A and B are shown apart, each in its own frame.
Chain A
Amino acid sequence: MSDYHFEEEDFQGTKVKSSTLLRILSQVRPYKWRVVAFVLSIASVSVLESTLTWLTMQIIDRGIVPGDRQALTELLTVYGAIYFVFAALVFAFIWFAGILGERVRYDMRKKLFDHLQTLSFNYFDKTPVGWVMSRVNSDTERISELVTWGIIDVTWSIVNITAATIWMLTINWQLALIVFVSIPVLIVIASWFQKRIIVEYREARKTNSKITGAYNENIQGVRVVKALGREAANLGEFSHLTDEMYRRSFRAAWLSALFMPVVQIISSIALGAIVWYGGLQAQVGGITIGGIQAFVGYVTFMLWPIQELARVYASMQQAVASAERVFSLMDEQPQIKDHVGAKDPGTLRGDIVFEDVKFHYEADKPVLRGIDVTIKAGETIALVGPTGAGKSTIVNLICRFYEPSSGRILINGTDYTQMTLHGIQSRIGMVLQTPHLFSGTIRENIRYGRLNATDDEVVAAATLAGAHDFIATLDKGYEEPVGEGGVLLSVGQKQLISLARAVLAEPEIFIMDEATSSVDTLTEALIQRGMEQLMAGRTSFVIAHRLSTIRRADRILVIDNGQITEQGSHAELLRQRGHYYRLYTQQFRSEREQAFELELEPMVS
């Protein structure tokens, strides 16, 4: 199971940098007219809302109090008309901003995905898949929310407070002053609360992911738990987690429940002052009844824009932290890329020469300590040696997934760093130890090798690779879905399909990492035959585990500790009675034992 803590990135201490904010805003630059449209509509909505309160005052003072039916009808007609405009504007801002938000998210995901395709292996070595997933999934969402709903909330709040202020000033400036004094107090309290609430919820989520992790482990290990009688102790440990979860989420919920009432109570003091002072004013004709109603309306409503401002402000830190992570991914430079003046080689057929090739991932831990070897065109090379000796690194270098730390690799006499990456990689076929299939049908997976292949060519490739027979027995044949990552197929079947995929690609260099796990005898034979088909007439490299493969190779390179310690044909190496001899006899024994067991199986079981 993946690490549950990936989602919770720390953003505390993130400074809201203006350069990051500008870069976030630049995400909507292509859509600036949409932004203008939704900002204008939400601003108008906001102005209309405060106008309606003012209009109510007019209805009272000019219509109701004097009993002027005509003025009343006129004013209410305007009031109703404003509602229609208002509804239209609400539609407009949701439409413009909402769709823009989705669009920005689409754009960012696309940019990130395309950029990820260019990055080199070293990036994927050091970056967990879960981390990248979170950037593309959740961070883009936070950013797009900030540039749409964030802008909307801020615009709405500021315009609302400003418009209400202007209306209040026109009605009665002394009363308006009372309200002004309360605004900064409210903002400070609101943002204090919002920050605390965000922190508490984050802590609760962290605890929650620990709880999920605990569930996960206990379910996966339930057989051990039962066998060792750990139930009571486990529950005791788990209850510490739920205790913590209880405390955290209760605190968070209590803070949230407290927030609005506190703000409301404070604003009610302003309301009380208005009633008191307004009442005195009313007596001397300083304010009308409608005016008092308007003030009550403005003051009770003002809570909402203030709350929104505080919320956006508090969540901005989080969105900026998201943005910084997304931008760091966008700015990541591929380590291996085409050099200036790199050319497509046209073909990779020809000798491959390793000239004192050294390689390391970390400077003090050499993986290859100087490989010197010439491989003739069409030769089949078996790489053997213990785990971690450097066999995979050698094939990764041939594919130019990595480049030598020092030394050169020449293909057909040219240093391969002078060639384009696409020129090299499109001419190499590869079959991995644990074959990776993409969800989709079998046909789609084979066609991955050559996208414009016809159905007949797909079948031909599958036949050549020995995959056709088993595919034909499936219900939907080539249209059978393989499941996510190929889960619906056995390892052997996946390998046959990936062989067919490589056959279809008609590569000039073929690379295979043999599976160590045993597959049934029939499939094994099919795989062997498929490999032979692929190796015929091509320069091939096999990280070999099976004796039959090793014996068939033109040359065997024994790799140990980053160096070639022995090389030659099977017979030559056996006669040397060295490292190869030991590896071979050991493998011989276990392979025969296994074969015998498989032979025995039908009889015994």
Chain B
Amino acid sequence: MAVTSISVPNIPQADFKARVSQNRLLGLVRMLGGYGKTYLAANITLALGALAKTATFLLLQYFVDNVLTMPDFGRVLPMIALGFVALALVEGGFTAWSGRLASYTAEGVVQKLRNYLYDHIQRLTFTYHDRMRTGELIQRVSSDVDAIRAFFNEQAIGLGRIALLFFINFAALLWISPQLALISIICVPIVAVVSVFFFGKLEKAYEHFQEQDAVVSATLNENLTGVRVVKAFARQEYESNKFDKENWEHFQRGRKLLIMHAVYWPLTDLICGIQVVGGFFVAAIMIINGELSLGSFLAYANILGWMIQPIRNLGRIIVQVSTAMVSYQRVTEIINEDREPLTAARIHPKGAAKGEVVFEDMSFEYTKDEPVLKNVSFRVAPGTSVALMGGTGSGKTSLVSLLPRFYEYTSGRILLDGVDIKDLPREYLREQIGVVEQEPFLFSRTIRENITYGVKRQVSDDEVHAAAQAASIHETIMGFPDGYNTLVGERGVTLSGGQKQRVAIARILLKNPRILILDDSTSSVDMETESEIREALANLMADRTTFIIAHRVQSLMDADQILVFSQGEIVQRGTHDELLEEDGTYRQIYDLQARIEDELEKELSGV
């Protein structure tokens, strides 16, 4: 029964909430969790790879200075050649292994993060979901999570790479000749500064470019979705001009980006080139003066480029790291939200509820001092029905959302079988309550999966069919080519409002709750299907405590008690017959039916 995420086996999970940090960079690092050591290993293997590469050039130095001058070097020569191959193997092996460890870390962390976010979001409160737009959340769990993945897979390791290459190669140069080494790093700060400056600028220009990309896309999209209007007003040429304007602006902004690239890369090429020429000159003079060996020069010439070139990308990585930090921030905002506890409670009842519901002087507000429901008191006996009537905003929908603790009431009490629902686990309440919404949401799965969506056990085909039959939808389903395996939604069949409603009813029938909430279930349905739904609902309501929200008298006249709401308060209560005796809203609505027939009669006799 009490299935929680923790007890589901084999799902890679981690508690990201415990790892959140104020400092965004630290927070990113803490996301690593148990992967920290692996990630460290990725950096160490990277360093070993780089060392092997540098050693290759030092071997070249040894080869030229010491081996070639040996009298019998023919014997040593194969050893040297093998040495080059061996170093390449070491370098390649470590570099590849480093990449493997880094992506093992990145993909592993992100898998856990994805699982965590998915579970977290479905456990956040209704209040949160009311506030957040779907698109915004999707953006964060997809693009922002991907930016975090790239941080571990590319940027953090990339920064490590630049630093390691610099220090290892610089150390090698110092070993070759301290003087030469110091001369050779003159350009490093220059290139680093230019790079950071350039990529900072580029980032802004790129954002500008991307914005225009979105504008072009939106213009096209509007044209395609509005094709009827375009054609009806014969505005093809106008549309072409409009698109051309945005498209041209896009071209201009792309051009600006390219000019920046066209300046940056040759400029840094030139800086590095001057460094190389200067270094060569000094080194050559040193050799001629006997201060440096020829082999050392060769090693130097090779190591120099290997040290300088990567620095040109420093700015790019720094910009990407700052984007990753923003993404971290945005993801953390979701993580920091509190989940609604499903199982925590003072009382854990065993077995199904009897279904007695009592509201005692209960009030509720979404925002402070704006009460939606005021001092509501009523009792519903087990297995009986109560109908809630009232205009939009009268509070009836809010009232039924309180029962499964989708929201928490503000004062008074709501009791289920004599126990305050705040003392009961939400999971228990939601198992006891079934909701048929006004516009039921179906998932893009098969019809069968939609019907069995709410049951946590294996269900036989017979049970599914019986539920569908009781919901008057079985025949319709069998009429589809794939029957119960027909997909719902874009890639399958599109169901009408009434069909969706009946699938939702079958879903609740199978769930078999003790308490039922029907939210205006026949309002958006045409005449023919309404009677079918009525029949399905009658099957559903048998023996259950039922809350019905409705506008029409026919939908609620059979209820055991009727409550008429106005501005969050109960203004009339009683059975259908009792309310007809009273002078009030209820009778006015009831009388309408008769009045309409009169009017129609008049109208028809007039022609």
Could you tell me which A residues sit within 8 Å of B by CB distance? 1, 3, 56, 59-60, 63-65, 67, 69, 72-73, 76, 79-80, 83-84, 86-88, 90-91, 94-95, 98-99, 102-103, 105-106, 109-110, 113-114, 116-118, 121, 124, 129, 132-133, 136-137, 208, 211-236, 238-239, 242-243, 245-246, 249-250, 253-254, 256-258, 260-262, 264-265, 267-269, 271-273, 275-276, 279-280, 282-283, 289, 292-293, 296-297, 399, 401, 421-422, 425-426, 428-430, 432, 436, 438-439, 448-449, 451, 484-485, 501, 505, 511, 570-571, 574-575, 585-586, 588-589, 592-593, 596-597, 600-601, 603-605
Q: Given contacts A223-B126, A279-B68, is CB(A91)–CB(B115) below 8 Å?
A: no
In the complex, B552 has a CB within 8 A of chain A? yes
Give the docked Cα–Cα distance between A93 and B433 (Å).
69
Q: Which residues of A contact B10 (CB under 8 A)?
A: 239
Q: Which residues of A contact B404 (CB under 8 A)?
A: 226-227
> Among the listed A109, A220, A448, A589, which residue makes an inter-chain contact with B600, where contact means beta carbons less than 8 Å apart?
A589
Q: Which residues of B contact A586 (CB under 8 A)?
A: 527
- Nearest to A236 among chain B residues (CB) is B8
Cβ contact within 8 Å between B607 and A99: no
In the complex, B487 has a CB within 8 A of chain A? no
> Among the listed B12, B82, B274, which residue makes an inter-chain contact with A80, where contact means beta carbons less than 8 Å apart?
B274
Cβ contact within 8 Å between B250 and A229: no
Give the docked Cα–Cα distance between A569 and B536 (Å).
40
In the complex, B287 has a CB within 8 A of chain A? yes
> Among the listed A91, A215, A592, which residue makes an inter-chain contact with B262, where contact means beta carbons less than 8 Å apart?
A91
B331-342 CB contact bits vs A (8 Å, 1 = yes)?
A: 000000000001
Q: Given contacts A94-B262, A593-B592, is CB(A253)–CB(B435) below 8 Å?
A: no
Q: Which residues of A contact B302 (CB under 8 A)?
A: 296-297
Cβ contact within 8 Å between B64 and A220: no
- Nearest to A208 among chain B residues (CB) is B142
A520: min CB distance to chain B, Å: 12
Q: Which residues of A contact B4 (CB under 8 A)?
A: 232
Cβ contact within 8 Å between B281 and A64: no
Q: Which residues of A contact B280 (CB under 8 A)?
A: 56, 59, 76, 79
Taking CB atoms and an 8 Å cut-off, the chain B residues in 548-603 that contact chain A are 551-552, 564-567, 585, 588-589, 592-593, 595-596, 599-600, 603
Give the docked Cα–Cα distance between A272 and B60 (Å).
11
Q: Given contacts A59-B280, A214-B118, is CB(A233)–CB(B232) below 8 Å?
A: no
In the complex, B431 has a CB within 8 A of chain A? yes
Give the docked Cα–Cα distance between A76 and B282 (Å).
11
Taking CB atoms and an 8 Å cut-off, the chain B residues in 1-46 that contact chain A are 3-5, 7-8, 10-12
Q: Given contacts A253-B103, A399-B232, is CB(A229)–CB(B427) below 8 Å?
A: yes
In the complex, B255 has a CB within 8 A of chain A? yes
> Among the listed A212, A229, A279, which residue makes an inter-chain contact with B431, where contact means beta carbons less than 8 Å apart?
A229
Cβ contact within 8 Å between A254 and B456: no
Q: Which residues of A contact B104 (CB under 8 A)?
A: 250
- Nearest to B229 among chain A residues (CB) is A436
- Nearest to A279 among chain B residues (CB) is B77
> Among the listed B11, B220, B248, which residue makes an inter-chain contact with A236, where contact means beta carbons less than 8 Å apart?
B11
Cβ contact within 8 Å between B258 and A94: yes
Cβ contact within 8 Å between B11 and A235: yes
B496-530 CB contact bits vs A (8 Å, 1 = yes)?
A: 00000000000100010000000000000001000
Cβ contact within 8 Å between A430 and B118: no
Cβ contact within 8 Å between A129 and B596: no
Q: Given contacts A261-B93, A264-B91, is CB(A276)–CB(B77) below 8 Å?
A: yes
B558: min CB distance to chain A, Å: 19
- Nearest to A421 among chain B residues (CB) is B234
Cβ contact within 8 Å between A232 and B99: no
B214-245 CB contact bits vs A (8 Å, 1 = yes)?
A: 00111011111111111111111111100110
Cβ contact within 8 Å between A224 and B233: no
Q: Which residues of A contact B390 (CB under 8 A)?
A: 604-605
Taking CB atoms and an 8 Å cut-off, the chain B residues in 40-88 that contact chain A are 60, 63-64, 67-68, 73-74, 77-78, 80-82, 84-85, 87-88
Give the docked Cα–Cα distance between A104 and B224 (Å).
22
Q: Given contacts A257-B100, A283-B74, A570-B607, is CB(A217)–CB(B443) below 8 Å?
A: yes
Cβ contact within 8 Å between B258 and A98: yes
Q: Given contacts A276-B81, A575-B607, is CB(A212)–CB(B236) below 8 Å?
A: no
Give the docked Cα–Cα distance between A430 and B233 (Å).
8
Cβ contact within 8 Å between B254 and A102: yes
Interface centre among B102, B231, B440, B607 (most CB of A within 10 A): B231
Cβ contact within 8 Å between A604 and B566: yes
Cβ contact within 8 Å between B129 and A222: yes
Q: Which residues of A contact B95 (CB under 8 A)?
A: 257, 260-261
Give the docked Cα–Cα distance between A69 and B267 (Å).
29
Q: Given contacts A87-B267, A224-B441, A439-B218, is CB(A72)–CB(B453) below 8 Å?
A: no
Q: Given contacts A293-B298, A596-B592, is CB(A257)–CB(B103) below 8 Å?
A: yes
Q: How many A-B contacts are there with CB distance less than 8 Å?
A: 426
Interface size class of B (residues with CB under 8 A): 35 or more
Give the docked Cα–Cα distance between A265 and B437 (Å).
64
Give the docked Cα–Cα distance between A73 and B73 (Å).
33
Interface centre among A132, A219, A439, A600 (most CB of B within 10 A): A219
Q: Which residues of B contact A265 (CB under 8 A)?
A: 85, 88-89, 92
In the complex, B319 has a CB within 8 A of chain A? no
In the complex, B178 has a CB within 8 A of chain A? no
Interface segment, B199-207, B378-386, B391-399, B539-547?
B391-399
Cβ contact within 8 Å between A110 and B126: no
Q: Given contacts A129-B225, A436-B225, A570-B607, is CB(A592)–CB(B596) below 8 Å?
A: yes
What are 21 A-B interface contacts by the 8 Å CB criterion?
Answer: A65-B294, A72-B285, A79-B277, A94-B258, A215-B118, A216-B138, A224-B440, A227-B433, A231-B123, A235-B11, A236-B11, A254-B103, A257-B95, A268-B89, A272-B81, A276-B80, A279-B68, A429-B233, A586-B527, A600-B589, A605-B390
> Among the listed A73, A231, A428, which residue makes an inter-chain contact with B122, where contact means beta carbons less than 8 Å apart?
A231
> Among the listed B81, B142, B213, which residue makes an inter-chain contact with A275, where contact means beta carbons less than 8 Å apart?
B81
Interface centre among A91, A103, A249 (most CB of B within 10 A): A91
Q: Which residues of A contact B441 (CB under 8 A)?
A: 220-221, 223-224
Give the docked Cα–Cα distance between A73 and B239 (Å).
64
B118: min CB distance to chain A, Å: 5
Q: Given contacts A76-B277, A399-B232, is CB(A271)–CB(B225) below 8 Å?
A: no
Give the docked Cα–Cα distance between A242 and B119 (Å).
13
- Nearest to B236 among chain A residues (CB) is A117
- Nearest to B270 among chain A residues (CB) is A87
Interface segment, B106-114, B186-194, B354-362, B473-481?
B106-114
Q: Given contacts A246-B111, A272-B84, is CB(A67)–CB(B490) below 8 Å?
A: no
Cβ contact within 8 Å between A113 and B240: yes
Besides the known contacts A137-B216, A265-B88, A268-B88, 4 further A-B residue pairs in the complex with CB atoms under 8 A apart: A116-B224, A215-B142, A231-B122, A605-B567
Q: Which residues of A contact B394 (CB under 8 A)?
A: 604-605
Q: Which residues of A contact B262 (CB under 8 A)?
A: 91, 94-95, 98
- Nearest to B7 among chain A residues (CB) is A232
Q: Given contacts A238-B115, A593-B596, is CB(A110)–CB(B243) below 8 Å?
A: yes
Give the docked Cα–Cα distance between A226 and B267 (Å).
59
- Nearest to B251 among chain A residues (CB) is A106
- Nearest to A225 among chain B residues (CB) is B122
Q: Given contacts A289-B298, A432-B229, is CB(A217)–CB(B444) below 8 Å?
A: yes
> Among the listed B64, B87, B391, which residue makes an inter-chain contact with A601, where contact means beta carbons less than 8 Å apart?
B391
- Nearest to B286 among chain A residues (CB) is A64
Taking CB atoms and an 8 Å cut-off, the chain B residues in 422-458 that contact chain A are 427, 430-431, 433-435, 437, 440-441, 443-444, 453-454, 456
Give the docked Cα–Cα distance between A296 and B595 (Å).
101
B110-135 CB contact bits vs A (8 Å, 1 = yes)?
A: 01001100110111001001000010
In the complex, B259 has a CB within 8 A of chain A? yes
Which are the 6 A-B pairs with shortest beta-carbon distances?
A: A257-B99, A268-B88, A261-B92, A83-B273, A253-B103, A228-B454
Q: Given contacts A279-B73, A601-B392, is CB(A262)–CB(B277) below 8 Å?
A: no
